[in-house]
Structure 1
Amino acid sequence: MAELAFGIIGNVIEKLGFVAYQEFCLAWGFKSDLEKLQHTMSIIKVVLLDAEKKQASDPLLRLWIGQLNDVLYDAEDVLEEIEYQALRKQVVATYGSTSTKVRHFFSSSITRAFPFKLAHKIKGIRERLDAINAEKDQFKLMTIIHGDAHVMHPLRDIDSISFVQPSTVIGRGKDQKKIINLLMHPDGNKNVNVISIVGLGGLGKTALAKLVYNDEQVVRLFQLRMWVCVSEDFSVTRLIKEILKSACGTIDPNWNVDALQTKLRDVLRDTKFLLVLDDVWNDDHNKWIGLRDLLIGGCKGSKIIVTTRSNSVASAMETDSTYSLEGLSQEDCLSLFVKCALKEGEENQHPNLLKIGKEIVEKCKGVPLAVRTLGSLLYSKVDEHEWEFVRDNEIWKLKQKERDILPALQLSYDQMPIHLKRCFSFCSIFPKDYIFYSDTLIHMWMAHGLLLETSLNKKQKLKDVGDLYINELLSRSFFQDVDKLLPCFPLYTFKMHDLIHDLAISVAQGECSVVDLGNKDISGTIRHLLFSVEDLSQEVPKCLDKLTKVRTVRFTAELPVPLVEACIFRFKYLRLLDLSESSFEVLPSSIGTLKHLRNLDLSNNNRIKLLPNSIVKLHKLQTLVLLGCSELERLPKDIRNMIGLQRLSVTTKYTCLLENGSLNSLQFLDVIGCSRLEVLFHEIDSQCLTNLRTLMIGGCESLTSLSLNIKHLTALEFILISDCPSLNLMGGGEDNQDLKLSLQTLLIEGSLMLEVLPQWLQRSANTLQYLHIVGCENITALPEWLPILKSLHTLVIQYCPKLSSLPEGTHHLTALRKLEIRGCPKLSRKCKREDQSKVAHVREIELDDDTRSTSTEEEDDQLPCHEFRMHA
């Protein structure tokens, strides 16, 4: 908890220094009080790192830290109230107000009631903080300047740490062969056999199952292969849906249970299938029977692989063959450790490190997760003292169970910089085996102020800092199973191992909680809530009554409107509200009272038609997600009042996204599945998107114009346009010869109107790195000015049959490293013959029916745009 307090107190001190000199505080006489608060917090801050080290053995110190956390959160809330009023005044000053109530509010309420209430809150916080400061002396805490508390682990490229081919898994070759042998021999008495892989957490059961699942023999053996992550929720209905998604890609959301069961039987009937049920915890035989009866219609020789930690689970699943997975040998563990800890070629340069590493590996007891985590902790560190610190750490002396790896994970966590610890602990709010999307998690971190504004350069934004944090957690093996959705853009999914998730829960310590109707024992200090019960009734859980300071509410199931209203009414300090997958028609107008709210997710609600006008009062809102809201008629008229909005992701049935208004703070705009949309904007301020960095548009078949003036989009770095057959990309800055743009990536898919590339692309001659053109059937030629794109390193052209040659001067694209041409027979033939000299300098060339490359690196992760465009 001390590391959480250290991060919070740093944020509060910074805010105090800024807020104290705001016009409101000077006018209301708060400056002196806020400066005193800042001074007291600075005194406390310097002992917090020592408190972190001592808290494990001192219950009173942990209690003191908990009280400090509570005061700091309250201080943060008060400061944000001041910030909100400043934003409110800014909105009225900029856009005016047609509401006499608003004008009256600023002429009376702010000048009388609000300052009085605020002064009372500040006084209370000062008194509590003074008492906490006085109590700290009893713990004899030493002053420790934070020093390297924010130093990042040496970063590796995300491709090198995460996207590991199954063949690189160490020490499981024999296990793989034995499992495949079990798959090859059917039981004569059954159509479907169950094989259970049983082993302790962290041994690599899932990794082994993936090796088997992707083995060429197995692929040839089964007509259909399906993979479902089960985890602790063995809901038969949910599993049917997941199995069908794995088998068919998508399912009809309107299917009831009977329709789902019928569809599953149809899919499996007379089919030899392999189904992997990964990470099963259910040992209730009756639940398994409910699912089993739907799976027995496959052809003889069909198999189900179950991975589980428990033999009782294997028994309940009527296992025909149980494979007990053992730990890795010391030799294999050392190989894995060296692979994670040392750069290639370094293993022979540091014999003493190898000796210490061998002793560290022995403490890991053959568990690959422990080996990988500690190896990643020491990556690129060649100081023997740092390796000895890990080997000789006191944490190994704590009493532990057989093959307990939590000490190894805790040790790796302890060595993380404080800002990463806060981001990691926040992940405990998600259920086990949750699939994270990188951009979604980053915007959640942003909502809670967890990203440090320590940019590497002036152009770097908080989103970039978030990408660095995820990269760092990946490099430390705290995230795994990474799937990169786009090679040229930092958008990817990943998961958290169960044991890592357990660690996140343990370090969150009262910050996060899962709520169900029967949960009566819940701490009043809880800040992050997850509602996970599938059949929430209309009754509001009684346990919510004592909660007043919640900052996050997420739902993982269908939710009743009374519960949503109760959360909005009770939790006035919400920063994040996730109502995705809901189906209510009306969002309560009380949403406008959540003045601290920064992240609102309403995605995949296919019934909501309008948002209440009160939503535009959310001046601090940074992220608004409305993807999949297919019945949404329009966005609020005064959305320009949401001056803090940085990310907008929307689906609407209206013909125009915005009729008027300015979105000066917007950096990320996703417009997906808007079948009736004709133009993005009407009468829009020509400079309203000057901070826009990413623009994604997909599935908008009626869209004819972006109605954007390119000359104002100087910050735009990434454009994705997919399945917009009527869209014309011409215009907007064509004639401005002095225009300089920052575009780095352009991906165009399925644009039938595209005959030539737009002229304004020349304005990114020094920045464009990735150009992807696919399914543009009417494009006849690439422009002669293409060779001026001096930074272009990847050119992908797919299914553009009218293209027949590359422009003259293509050899001047000296940065070009990869050229991929598929579905363009004329162009491919030309590149093999007459145009061969134009591309002789390119290191990797992929043509129709031909691949020439000097690189051994696999590039199969080059996905078509439609694979990722519907991401919410």
Structure 2
Amino acid sequence: MFGERFYDCNIGQIFNNVHLRVLYLRGVNLIALPESICKLKHLRYLNLSRSSIEVLCESIIYLQNLQMLLLNDCKRLEKLPRGLRYLRNLQRLDITDCISLSHLPRGIKELSSLRTLSMFPLNKSVYPFLNKSVAKIGELGSLNLLEGNLKIAGLENVGGLSEAKSANLKCKTNLSVLVLNWSKTDFSSRIQQMFTHDEEVLEGLEPTSSLKELRIWDYRGKIISPSWMLNLKNLVEIEFYWCKKCEHIPALPRLPNLRVIVLRCMDSLKCFHDDHTNMFGNTTTMFPCLQKLDILNCPVLNSLPSHLPKLEVLSLDCCKKLVSLPDEIQSLNFMKTLKIRGCKHLRKRYDKEIGVDWHKISHIPNVRIRPYGEVDDDEEDEEKIDEIDK
């Protein structure tokens, strides 16, 4: 179904070893765990990553000493045990890339020892009576020991500001990477869009000020401008992906430690900020630490920011309205790589040795200017990896 490769293993005898503490079944060809796993009372570590597992049996709740449950890349896994909340010693639940997992069971908030929860899916069941057993975003509110990466998916199912605030992300001071993911829009969800409150929900999802990376995917509002954005003084990287209706992005220049900006598939984005409001005042302070600016498929973007003194990598792909690069690019001493593809105006203007402005970029060690559809082998590999990640 997904093209995975699994190995076969006769695990029947394993469950007779009642003193087992570590069980590593990564990549095993196994649809479901036998109910007899409940015999492993001393088990602390269970790794089923990249396996063909589809469901975890309810008897797993008897593993009261279990601390780590690793299920990352189990693409066929559809649900977790309803009694998951009884695993009170569980510290790590890794469900990264479990693409068939639509929700978490109700009661996840009772896992008071949980430190790692890679994903919190919020997709509602097509059967309303089943939604009573589904964890809502408010269950995140008490899980303040969470650290590392957290992705919240299905945010179109959050009702508004107060419900979003109940996640209490601001108090999760050990989180370093946060992904806020709405679902891609299709024909069947157009009616639902009339009742969504994306801007309110985003405002309510205020993260900890110590956050290092923020990614916003598939957001459907016209403006990304939550009041808390300027509080992210420690933010190093930010990414906006598939925010099709967004016309403006927030006041990123005011984030003093920002080093990476990634913009992908932003159909309506015209500029980095509203020039008419003059919101930044002295532009010489803009992006003092930015090292990488990566922009892909922003067809109406018509300008790039200036004053990027530390910029090292600039990548522009399918930005058809861009007619020029900032004039200061010829004086950027840290520039190492400039990639331009599918930008016809830029390609003509900066074509090697014959373009009218080639002299402005000729000092950059690695310059690649190509038409749409032409890629290097390494770029093609990167694009495949990006597509898989999404």
TM-score strictly above 0.5: yes
Q: CA deviation at 1:639?
A: 2.5
Q: CA deviation at 1:617?
A: 2.9
Q: Distance in 1 between matches of 2:341 and 2:79?
A: 49
Taking the TM superposition and a 5 Å limit, the aligned residue runs for 1:748-759 are 748-758=263-273
Q: CA deviation at 1:535?
A: 7.0
Aligned residues: 336
1:638 equivalenced with 2:160 (yes/no): no
Taking the TM superposition and a 5 Å limit, the aligned residue runs for 1:808-819 are 808-819=327-338
Q: CA deviation at 1:749?
A: 2.1
Distance change in 2, residues 1:628/1:636 (3 Å)? closer
Letter in 2 for 1:776: C
Q: Deviations over 1:731-781 (max 9, x none)?
A: 6487xxxx5611111111232333233376864543111112222222223
Q: Distance in 2 between matches of 1:640 and 1:726?
A: 27
Taking the TM superposition and a 5 Å limit, the aligned residue runs for 1:480-495 are none
Counterpart of 1:232? Answer: 7
Q: CA deviation at 1:725?
A: 2.6
Q: Is this contact kept in 2: 1:583–1:605, CA < 8 A?
A: no
Counterpart of 2:261? Answer: 746
Taking the TM superposition and a 5 Å limit, the aligned residue runs for 1:261-280 are none
Q: Distance in 2 between matches of 1:612 and 1:776?
A: 32
Q: Is this contact kept in 2: 1:606–1:629, CA < 8 A?
A: no
Distance change in 2, residues 1:624/1:804 (3 Å)? closer
Letter in 1 for 2:363: H
SS at match of 1:846: strand
Q: Is this contact kept in 2: 1:767–1:791, CA < 8 A?
A: yes
Q: Deviations over 1:137-182 (max 9, x none)?
A: xxxxxxxxxxxxxxxxxxxxxxxxxxxxxxxxxxxxxxxxxxxxxx
Q: Distance in 2 between matches of 1:558 and 1:682?
A: 29
Q: Distance in 2 between matches of 1:746 and 1:714?
A: 15
Q: CA deviation at 1:620?
A: 2.2
Q: Is this contact kept in 2: 1:801–1:825, CA < 8 A?
A: yes
Gaps spanning 5+ residues in structure 1: where? 1-225, 234-280, 283-425, 435-513, 648-666, 851-855
Letter in 1 for 2:171: I
Letter in 2 for 1:529: L
Counterpart of 2:182? Answer: 673
The percentage of aligned residue pairs carrying the same residue is 18
Letter in 1 for 2:362: A
1:529 equivalenced with 2:46 (yes/no): yes
Q: Is this contact kept in 2: 1:755–1:780, CA < 8 A?
A: yes
1:564 equivalenced with 2:82 (yes/no): yes
Q: CA deviation at 1:812?
A: 0.2
Q: Please report the RMSD computed on the Cα atoms of aligned residues, expressed in angstroms.
A: 4.3
Q: CA deviation at 1:582?
A: 6.7
SS at match of 2:339: strand
1:588 to 106, 109, 117: 106
Q: Distance in 2 between matches of 1:745 and 1:586?
A: 32
Gaps spanning 5+ residues in structure 2: where? 11-20, 126-130, 186-192, 274-278
Q: Distance in 1 between matches of 2:34 and 2:237?
A: 42
Q: CA deviation at 1:637?
A: 4.7
1:768 to 290, 293, 304: 290
Letter in 1 for 2:178: L
Q: Is this contact kept in 1: 2:172–2:208, CA < 8 A?
A: no
Letter in 1 for 2:199: V
Letter in 1 for 2:172: G
Taking the TM superposition and a 5 Å limit, the aligned residue runs for 1:90-105 are none
Q: Is this contact kept in 2: 1:588–1:612, CA < 8 A?
A: no
Q: CA deviation at 1:530?
A: 5.0
Q: Is this contact kept in 1: 2:116–2:146, CA < 8 A?
A: yes
Distance change in 2, residues 1:762/1:753 (3 Å)? farther
Q: CA deviation at 1:587?
A: 2.7
1:835 equivalenced with 2:357 (yes/no): yes
1:517 equivalenced with 2:39 (yes/no): no
Q: Distance in 1 between matches of 2:54 and 2:267?
A: 46
Q: Deviations over 1:554-585 (max 9, x none)?
A: 56565777x431x433x321112356567687
Letter in 1 for 2:6: S
1:617 equivalenced with 2:142 (yes/no): yes
Q: Distance in 2 between matches of 1:794 and 1:427?
A: 44
Q: Distance in 2 between matches of 1:766 and 1:642?
A: 26
SS at match of 2:267: coil
Letter in 1 for 2:220: E
Counterpart of 1:822? Answer: 341
Letter in 1 for 2:113: H
Letter in 2 for 1:673: W
Q: Is this contact kept in 1: 2:165–2:204, CA < 8 A?
A: no
Taking the TM superposition and a 5 Å limit, the aligned residue runs for 1:356-435 are 429=24, 431-432=26-27
Counterpart of 2:153? Answer: 627
Counterpart of 1:574? Answer: 90
SS at match of 1:863: helix
Q: Is this contact kept in 1: 2:247–2:269, CA < 8 A?
A: yes
Q: Distance in 2 between matches of 1:712 and 1:642?
A: 11
Counterpart of 1:863? Answer: 383
Q: CA deviation at 1:794?
A: 1.0
Letter in 2 for 1:702: G
Q: Distance in 1 between matches of 2:112 and 2:347?
A: 57
SS at match of 2:330: helix
Q: CA deviation at 1:533?
A: 8.2
Counterpart of 1:247? Answer: none
Q: CA deviation at 1:728?
A: 3.5
Q: Distance in 2 between matches of 1:537 and 1:692?
A: 33
Q: CA deviation at 1:730?
A: 5.2
- If the length of structure 2 is used for normalisation, what is the TM-score? 0.69
Letter in 2 for 1:672: N
Q: Distance in 1 between matches of 2:251 and 2:115?
A: 33
SS at match of 2:211: coil
Q: Is this contact kept in 1: 2:139–2:167, CA < 8 A?
A: no
Q: CA deviation at 1:721?
A: 1.0
Letter in 1 for 2:356: E
SS at match of 2:367: strand
Q: CA deviation at 1:716?
A: 1.3
Q: CA deviation at 1:718?
A: 0.8
Letter in 1 for 2:338: L
Q: Is this contact kept in 1: 2:54–2:79, CA < 8 A?
A: no
Distance change in 2, residues 1:637/1:721 (3 Å)? closer
Q: CA deviation at 1:842?
A: 1.0
Q: Distance in 2 between matches of 1:733 and 1:849?
A: 30
Q: Distance in 1 between matches of 2:202 and 2:4?
A: 46
Letter in 1 for 2:109: G
Q: Deviations over 1:779-800 (max 9, x none)?
A: 22335xx2x3121111111212
Distance change in 2, residues 1:810/1:576 (3 Å)? closer
Distance change in 2, residues 1:868/1:729 (3 Å)? farther
Q: Distance in 1 between matches of 2:301 and 2:269?
A: 6
Q: Deviations over 1:80-117 (max 9, x none)?
A: xxxxxxxxxxxxxxxxxxxxxxxxxxxxxxxxxxxxxx
Counterpart of 1:553? Answer: 69
Counterpart of 1:34? Answer: none
Q: Is this contact kept in 1: 2:213–2:235, CA < 8 A?
A: yes
Identify the structure with the greater helix proportion.
1
Q: Is this contact kept in 1: 2:225–2:250, CA < 8 A?
A: no
Q: Distance in 2 between matches of 1:615 and 1:808?
A: 47
Computing the radius of gyration from Cα coordinates, the structure with the larger value is 1
Q: Deviations over 1:655-705 (max 9, x none)?
A: xxxxxxxxxxxx32212234555316577699x642122111122233422
Q: CA deviation at 1:588?
A: 2.8
Q: Is this contact kept in 1: 2:203–2:226, CA < 8 A?
A: no
